[in-house]
């Protein structure tokens, strides 16, 4: 019986186009974002954080092909046959939030969002 060849370990490296942020950079960025948020609050804007995942229907008109929503964005089909996708900006989630909560939101609704998309 031949010995199994050991499988080599994958190389530990950051994917191309991405980087890691360590303590000082994270602290400096958080402080800067805190100051930016303070300006937004001063002028009457509210913070809004939405899920990174949206129903494809909410992203629909922004997708390259609604019949194949996984073409062009990271999307998957759930057990109930509905499609979910990672958001690719903050516009479609804002439109969904406004449509969903329009009777409860102030008019005009002033919001800001910061973070990765």
CATH code of 48's domain: 3.30.930.10
Specify burial of residue 85 (Cβ count, 10 A radius: 0-12, 13-18, 19+): buried
In a domain, 4, yes or no: no
State residue 56's pLDDT score.
86
Give the Cα separation of 1 and 51 in Å (integer): 53
Band of residue 61 on the pLDDT scale cut at 50, 70, 90: low
In a domain, 3, yes or no: no
Does the structure show a pLDDT above 80 at 4? no
In a domain, 15, yes or no: no
State residue 71's pLDDT score.
65
46: number of Cβ within 10 Å: 12
Q: Domain residues for 97?
A: 23-112
Q: Into how many domains does the chain fold?
A: 1
Does the structure show a pLDDT above 60 at 70? no
In a domain, 75, yes or no: yes
């Amino acid at each position: 019986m031949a010995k199994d060849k050991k499988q080599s370990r994958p190389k530990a490296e950051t994917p191309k186009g991405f980087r890691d942020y360590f303590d000082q950079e994270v602290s400096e960025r958080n402080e800067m974002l805190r100051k930016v948020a303070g300006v937004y609050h001063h002028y009457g804007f509210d913070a809004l954080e939405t899920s990174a995942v949206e129903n494809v229907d909410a992203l629909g008109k922004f997708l390259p092909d609604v019949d194949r929503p996984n073409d062009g964005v990271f999307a998957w089909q759930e057990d109930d046959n509905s499609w979910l996708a990672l958001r690719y900006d903050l516009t479609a989630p804002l439109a969904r939030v406004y449509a969903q909560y329009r009777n409860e939101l102030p008019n005009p609704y002033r919001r800001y969002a910061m973070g990765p998309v």
